[in-house]
Every structure is written in structure tokens, then in C-alpha cells.
Structure 1
Amino acid sequence: MTNTTALPTMLRLTDPGLREQLQALPDSAALIGISTDGRAIAVDIDTAPHILVCSGTGGGSTTILRTLTAQFLYQGAHALVLDPTRIAHLWAKDLPTVTHRGNVAGIHDALVGLGAELKRRIDLEGGLDDVPRLMVVIDRADDTLRHLTRHWETLRQKDDPKRSPAIAALQAVLYEGRAARIHVIYAGTATVGGRLIPGAHEQFSTVILARVSASIWRRLAPIAGPAPKSSPLPGLVHVVQDGDAHPAQAVLITGAEAADWLTATAAGEN
């Protein structure tokens, strides 16, 4: 494995030249971080439509979600941010192109609506060139799916399907979203108890791992070799793409930085 001592110790939006590097990316791409050889590690959702982020305690999955989402918003995307803690993504709450939902009932309704939006986009005549990308950002997603399952049990009537329609809509987006310019950034393992169908995690062509256990590494990066030794370095991740795991220092953007950057962009100040 490549020696990680060559990694920068921190990458921030305020670093010289970094903002310009982010701004130069095509609207389908976001910078994840810089690898040990100085190469930019990015994700292009035209070819890898969904992103899985999985971290152990202190691994920074919420920060990675924020950093990726902010970049796609800068590029003109809209976002549905599902924030079960209600406070992890307040940076996005007042942005005009973001829908922020926190409580389980609101998340349920938002995902059911997402299923309708998926169908509307697929059925739209004349193509999607003028339709903004929609990023569906789900923090603490595995716990959220459990809560959605229990919530549906309190709502379900006799003739309703047993499976939560919110989870069914998310599943549909994972399989069909690319054709509708809808993309998922999912913080979790995507393998919890069949709430997503078996193999759903295979829909994530880019997997970002930080401080995960050996068992989770084997599950989410089975052909990338043995799990690397955990590091206390903030922002150190392994990006799994095309079967290879690339150690990288992730770009870290704070909530205040993201909100200020995007607000200034909307005001024409960038």
C-alpha cells in the first residue's frame, strides 16, 4: 500500500488554489481529496451516479457529505438533504436550492415525493438537459431506514404494502436515478437487514471509507485487498473506485464555509 506520509495533513476550502480547483471541475464532478502521489481523486456522477460514505467513530462522514454536496450545489445541482439529527446540516437549510428534512415523518414524505419526481423526470418529453441534477443526501442512513420502517408500521393500513414506500422510492432511485439525473450520497453501509434489497450497495460505484472495521471493509471493498490500518489523521479516507482503494486526504469544508461560499456564488460574488 502507498505510504500515507506523503498526504497533506489537512485540505481546506481556504487553502491557496483549492477553491479554483473545485470551480474548474465539470458540473458532474466533485473533488473527494488528494492522493499520496498528489493526484486529485474525484467522482463523476455521470459515470458513477451514487456515492457511499462509511466511517467509524470520528471518521468524518458528515463532513464528507457536506463537502461533496456543497460542490454539486456550486455546480448548479439541487439537493434533498435528509438530516435525522436535525442539526448536522443546518448549513444547507436556508439555501434556495436545498430542501432540508429532519424528523422521520418529513423524511418519509420527502422520499415518497422523490419517487414521484423520479417518475416525472423519466416520463418528461424533450429530455432533461434543462432539469437540474438532484442530489439526495442521507446522513446516518442505516438508522434512518430503521426509523422509516417503524414509522410505516404506524401508518400502514390493511391493504397497504408491508414495505415502506419511502424505502421503496429510495431503492427505485438507486436503480433508475441516473437516467433521471437524480443521485444519492448515502452515509452508512447500505446493507442493513434487507431494508434496501440485497445487493443495493453494489449500486454505489464510488465508496469512501474512513476508520471502518475489517468486517465492513471486507463487505464494501471485497476486492480491494485487506483493510488498512486505522489512522487518527483527520480527513484520511480510502476511496474505492474500479476495485482499487486509493488513500487520500479528503477536502474538509465547514458548515459556515459551505454556506458562505454558496451564498456568495448565488449573489454573483464568486
Structure 2
Amino acid sequence: MTHKPTAPTPNIPEALRLSDPGVREQLQALPDSLVLIGWTTDGQPVCADLDAEAPHVLVCSATGGGTTTVLRTLTAQLLHHGAHALVLDLKRSSHQWTHGLPGVTYCPGIADIHDALVGLQAELVRRIDHINQHGDADDLPRLTVVLEDADATLHSLARHWNTVREKSDPKTSPAVTAIEELLFAGRQARMHVLLAGHLNRPFGLEARENFSTLVLGRVTTGTWKRLAPHIDTIPKGNTHPGRVHVVQGLTAHPTQVLLMTDAEAAAWVTTTAAEEN
């Protein structure tokens, strides 16, 4: 879904930053279910609506194409509104800005990531039970799983499980199963996945249907055809920093991503309503 309030500028900027005129005001005006990705070529904001359709966002680009930046910007907005976040950072360097922030569980090692995801599966069950008892999950905080370098992380989780599992344990890693279940059941439980990767094995292409928003940077024609086969005309690649295509429905919006530094993202998380005004 594209949210289109009045934009402060008529054309896509060369860069879009938190300090630019109108950007903070735009973020303040958005409800907590909408996260601003950036602005289109006609100056319109492009947002992901986590309460509409599938609740997850997939980000894919070549190395250096801005996937970490997009995840950082979206995560900061959600935390700013009181969401909790499980940050899975196999590289141990992509999201250190979240260290010590309220509501964040930061997991840098594969064993920690495995244990956190197994716990996540239990949380999903708990939330569904809560919904069955109370009718909805509106009183539960949003929980966002930030999965950086997803393909490598999933591969490492499978290898880790092969080294620790007992003979009576299932062959598939319960951590991988937890992510898969979250992709299919997350919406009703106010649980979201922000995933950077190509959706290669073990999930397969059917998992793509659980992402209502795709943010595609410098990707190959083959990746376009695999992740967004419903887009008839594949857009030309662009090496401009922060320039992506946001695929929502049958449309691919050329978009300049909102760029937040680590320090800006951390500060935005702890900004109060009084400071905003």
C-alpha cells in the first residue's frame, strides 16, 4: 500500500535525510502501522503498511546497495512508536546501533540467533492463544524481526542445528521453522519480518507472497523475474546511492530511500512526542 499525504517537495531528491525540510513532520504524521521508505520521482512518499495485506518487507540489493540502510530506517521508525525488535545480526556489525535501546534484543552470534528464534516461536504461540482468548492482539506491542543477510543466516542456522541436534530431534532447524511460521502467521499476531536477502532455500518462492512490499536495489534481471514476476517491465538499474524500486501490488515505484545514520536512527528511537514538537 502506498500512503500519499501531501509531499513537501515536487521532485525526487538526490538524497533524502532526516534533517531535510518536512521529513520529520512527515514521520510524525504517520500512524504506527506505516513506515516511510522514501519518496518517488513525483515527490510522493512511499510507505509500507504493516497492517494491510502481508505484514513483512523484503529488501534485496547487490553488496553496497543499501539494504542495511533500509532496514535501519524502518526499524528506527517502528521502535520510535514503541515496537519491540529482535535484531539478528550475523555479521556482528550491521546493526550495533540498536545496542542498549529500549525494546531491542540484539543477537550477533549463530547460537544466540538460534535460541532467540526458538523463543520467538513460543512467543508466536503465546500471542495466538491471547487472540483466541481476547479476540485481538491490539494490546500487544508490535514485534519486529530484523533479519540481515538472511540467506547466509538461514544456511548457518541449518549447519548449527546439524551439530547440536539429537537423533530424536527433527532434521529441520526449529529456528528456521520459526521464521517460516512467522512469515505465514505474523500478521494476526502483530509480528513482522524485515528481511534482507534473496529468499533462496530453504523457503522457496511461495514465501515471497508473504511480503506485500519489496524494496529492490541493484539486482540482476534474474532476481527481478524471481522476486517480482508480476512486474511486466523490469526497471533499469540505478547506482545512485539510496535509489531503489519499491514493488507494491502491480507497481514498481522508483524511490529515493530515507537515509538515517546509525546515530540518527538511535536518536529517533528515543525521541519523545514533546521533542518532536
Instruction: Identify the TM-score tier after normalising by the shorter chain.
Output: over 0.9
Residue 117 (structure 2) aligned to one of 96, 103, 111 = 111
- What is the CA RMSD across the aligned residues, in angstroms? 1.3
Q: Secondary structure at the match of 1:196?
A: coil
Match of 1:44 in 2: 49
AA aligned to 1:167 is V
Return the offset for 1:228.
Answer: 2.2
- Per-residue deviation, residues 50-93 of structure 1 (Å, max 9, x unmatched): 11000112210000000011111112211111111111101111
Match of 1:27 in 2: 32
Match status 1:213 vs 2:233 = no
Match of 1:94 in 2: 100
Q: Percent identity of the aligned residues?
A: 56
Give the TM-score of the pair, scaled to structure 2: 0.91
Match of 2:87 in 1: 81
Q: Aligned equivalents of 2:162 and 2:49: distance in 1?
A: 37
Q: Aligned equivalents of 1:10 and 1:59: distance in 2?
A: 14
Q: Which runs of 5+ in 1 are unaligned?
A: 1-5
Give the TM-score of the pair, scaled to structure 1: 0.94
Residue 244 (structure 1) aligned to one of 240, 244, 251 = 251
Residue 199 (structure 1) aligned to one of 195, 206, 211 = 206
Q: Aligned equivalents of 2:98 and 2:190: distance in 1?
A: 20
Q: Secondary structure at the match of 2:272?
A: helix
Between 1:71-80 and 1:220-229, the stretch displaced more is 220-229
Return the offset for 1:198.
Answer: 4.8
Q: Aligned equivalents of 1:103 and 1:183: distance in 2?
A: 21
Q: Which runs of 5+ in 2 are unaligned?
A: 1-10
Return the offset for 1:128.
Answer: 1.7
Q: Aligned equivalents of 2:272 and 2:140: distance in 1?
A: 20
Aligned residues: 262
Q: Aligned equivalents of 2:30 and 2:139: distance in 1?
A: 19
* Residues 171 and 197 in structure 1, CA contact (< 8 A), matched pair in contact too: no
- Per-residue deviation, residues 102-156 of structure 1 (Å, max 9, x unmatched): 1000000011100000000000132322110001110000100000000000011
Q: Aligned equivalents of 2:272 and 2:152: distance in 1?
A: 34
Q: Aligned equivalents of 2:252 and 2:205: distance in 1?
A: 23
